[in-house]
């Protein structure tokens, strides 16, 4: 039977072993591993930015799999957001989360063809923000522009005001079209004209509720919070995909977070918590639940590991 006996530590070229009666793996997902992102997420995912540390490369997951742990969950899925296109490749403490751009429900997003590609107003931000980032990787050149006018710019989140932001402004829509780097101007002007004409201006705009102010009749309607782009100056922000964490990981027992092996049996002395716990999220993610799962499984794994260690020590002292 597979069992965890401790951990092997390598520091400055020196390797040592630390025996333990129980081990908790909490080393994150594999979002910083370019090879694994390409292999498991999508062919273009190697181009994504990483919102956090460069050290979440899946090492803990690999070690557990080598110890016969079973892979589990949505290995082709991840939490991914709209991230400033010129942000660093990995998380930067100077601006923290300021590179995210989450006010997209208030405007429109267009790709290199100048076309919208998602329903920006499908739901509140917290229910769409973690899946729309990856959709950007499916667009030509893996970028998008978020476009707003002065009817809503005062509502934009603080992250739109950081110093390191990829932003352009223009006094007219044609001028904006000419300044959107990488975007077909004719396609953009056509998109804006169709969008503006379809907005239900007889429905009141209310950013605090799903207001039903949409754009029926166009190929990709916006469901809520639609405003015609008519109030200059116009603002646009260039974004790409920023991966937060990956959904695939290890299977754990639901009552004590003990890691399960390929035979469906718990691995003695091995527990897991955090982003490497698989099976929690599939294709999407409601805001805040990652922190919740970390707290729940962290407490569960820590308690079970402590109990196992104390039990083992009691037996050995008899």
Q: Is the pLDDT of residue 95 over 80?
A: no
Q: What is the dihedral of CA 198, 102, 139, 234, to 10 degrees?
A: 50
The alpha carbon dihedral of 45, 49, 53, 55 has a sign of positive
pLDDT value for 313? 52
With tokens 């079973």, the residue in question is: 70
pLDDT tens column, 61-92: 999 999 999 999 999 999 999 999 999 999 98
Residue 315 banded pLDDT, cuts 50, 70, 90? very low
What angle is formed at CA 247 by the lines to CA 238 and CA 128, rounded to 5 degrees?
45
pTM score, two decimals? 0.88
In the chain, the percentage of residues whose pLDDT exceeds 70 is 97
Q: Residue 169: how many CB atoms within 10 A of its CB? A: 13
Q: Are 128 and 135 in contact (CB under 8 A)?
A: no
pLDDT value for 105? 98
pLDDT tens column, 215-255: 999 999 999 999 999 999 999 999 999 999 999 999 999 99
Both tokens of 2, joined, read 């597979």
Q: What is the dihedral of CA 14, 56, 302, 300, to 10 degrees?
A: -160
pLDDT tens column, 156-172: 999 999 999 999 999 99
- Phi, psi (rounded to 5 degrees) for 245: -160, 165
Q: What is the mean pLDDT of the chain?
A: 94
Nearest Cα to 216, choosing from 230, 202, 206?
202
Report how far residue 28's alpha carbon sits from residue 25's, in angstroms, rounded to the nearest whole number.
Answer: 9
CA distances from 281 to 58, 79, 232 (A): 17, 9, 41
Q: Is the pLDDT of residue 318 over 70?
A: no
Q: Where does the chain show beta strands of DSSP type E?
A: 6-11, 14-19, 23-25, 49-50, 71-72, 78-84, 108-110, 144-148, 167-170, 234-246, 249-250, 258-260, 266-272
Q: Show me where the domains of the chain are located.
A: 6-77+247-317, 82-242
Beta pairing class for 249-250 and 266-272? unpaired
- Domain 6-77+247-317 is found in CATH 3.50.50.60: yes
Residue 7 banded pLDDT, cuts 50, 70, 90? confident
Report how far residue 292's alpha carbon sits from residue 270's, in angstroms, rounded to the nearest whole number.
Answer: 21
Residue 94 banded pLDDT, cuts 50, 70, 90? confident
Both tokens of 254, joined, read 């639901």
Sheet with 266-272: strands ordered across:
23-25, 266-272, 258-260
DSSP 8-state assignment for residue 245: E
pLDDT value for 132? 94
Q: Is the pLDDT of residue 1 over 80?
A: no
* Mean pLDDT of the region 100-117: 98
pLDDT value for 4? 85
The CATH number for 82-242, chosen from 3.40.50.1970, 3.20.20.70, 3.40.80.10, 3.90.700.10, is: 3.90.700.10
Question: What does the DSSP assignment read for 283-317?
Answer: S---TTHHHHHHHHHHHHHHHHHHHHHHHHHHHHH
Report how far residue 201's alpha carbon sits from residue 99's, in angstroms, rounded to the nearest whole number.
Answer: 32
Answer whether 6-77+247-317 and 82-242 agree in fold: no
3-state secondary structure of 180: coil
pLDDT value for 5? 85
In the chain, the percentage of residues whose pLDDT exceeds 90 is 87
pLDDT tens column, 110-147: 999 999 999 999 999 999 999 999 999 999 999 999 99
DSSP 8-state assignment for residue 100: B
Q: Is the pLDDT of residue 56 over 50?
A: yes
pLDDT value for 92? 81
Q: Are 228 and 127 in contact (CB under 8 A)?
A: no
Q: Is the pLDDT of residue 317 over 70?
A: no
pLDDT tens column, 15-37: 999 999 999 999 999 999 999 99
């Amino acid at each position: 039977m597979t069992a965890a006996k401790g951990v092997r530590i390598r520091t400055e070229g020196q390797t040592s072993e630390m025996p333990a009666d129980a081990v908790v793996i909490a080393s994150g997902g594999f979002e910083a591993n370019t090879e694994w992102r390409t292999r498991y997420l999508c062919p273009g995912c190697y181009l994504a930015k990483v919102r956090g540390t460069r050290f979440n490369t899946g090492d803990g997951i690999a070690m557990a799999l080598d110890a016969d742990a079973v892979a589990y969950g949505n290995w082709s899925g991840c939490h991914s957001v709209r991230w400033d296109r010129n942000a660093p490749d990995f998380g930067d403490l100077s601006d923290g989360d300021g590179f995210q751009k989450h006010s997209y429900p208030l405007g429109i997003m267009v790709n290199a063809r100048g076309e919208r590609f998602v329903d920006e107003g499908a739901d509140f931000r917290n229910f769409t923000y973690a899946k729309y980032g990856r959709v950007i990787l499916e667009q030509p050149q893996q970028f998008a522009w978020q476009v707003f006018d002065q009817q809503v710019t005062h509502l934009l989140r603080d992250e739109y005001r950081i110093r390191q932001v990829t932003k352009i402004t223009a006094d007219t829509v044609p001028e904006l079209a000419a300044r959107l780097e990488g975007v077909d101007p004719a396609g953009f002007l056509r998109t804006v004209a169709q969008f503006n004409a379809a907005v239900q201006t007889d429905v009141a705009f209310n950013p605090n509720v799903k207001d039903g102010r949409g754009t029926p009749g166009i190929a990709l309607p916006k469901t809520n919070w639609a405003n015609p782009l008519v109030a200059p100056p116009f603002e646009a922000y260039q974004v790409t995909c920023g991966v937060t964490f990956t959904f695939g990981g290890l299977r754990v027992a639901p009552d004590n977070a003990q890691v399960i092996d390929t035979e469906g049996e718990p691995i003695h002395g091995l527990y897991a918590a955090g982003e490497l716990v698989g099976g929690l999220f599939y294709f999407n993610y409601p805001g805040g639940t990652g922190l919740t799962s970390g707290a729940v499984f962290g407490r569960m794994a820590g308690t079970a590991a402590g109990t196992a260690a104390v039990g083992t020590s009691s037996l050995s002292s008899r």
